[in-house]
Structure 1
Amino acid sequence: MTIDRMVLAFAGCVVLLGVALAYFFSPWWIGLSVFAGLNMIQAAFTGFCPAAMVFKKLGVKPGVAFR
């Protein structure tokens, strides 16, 4: 699996986790999903993604989008 796919999978998990926590515990948890969405938009325009940097340091194969 490449960094690109890991970032997409991680972002999807964070969004779903935020929705689940908001549903079961408190509506304030929807902020986690909002944060993930804003980070994805920011990464699309700037190419800067903290999760990609972490995955790179963990030795995940580079992809096309995040180098």
Structure 2
Amino acid sequence: MKLHAFLRLIAGVMVLVSLFLTHYVHPNWVWFTVFIAANLIQSAFTKWCPMITILKKIGIEEE
């Protein structure tokens, strides 16, 4: 799997996990979903995503 596909997979899984936690554990977990969304929005404007930096460091190759 390439870098951007891996990134989309991680973002999707994190959103699902945060929604699961919001529903079954505590409503304040919704703020985790907000954090994920804010990170995706900032990366669209700045062209920098912390997760991409991490994935590159562990050796995931780009397209």
Please give the TM-score of this superposition, normalised by the length of structure 1: 0.88
Cα distance in 1 between the residues matched to 2:37 and 2:12: 9
Q: Which residue of 1 aligns with 2:11?
A: 11
Q: Which ranges in structure 2 are unaligned for 5 or more consecutive residues?
A: none
Q: Which runs of 4+ in 1 moved over 6 A?
A: none
Q: How many residues align?
A: 63
| Root mean square deviation, CA, Å | 0.8
Letter in 1 for 2:60: V
Q: Which residue of 1 aligns with 2:28?
A: 28
Letter in 2 for 1:3: L
Cα shift at 1:3: 1.1
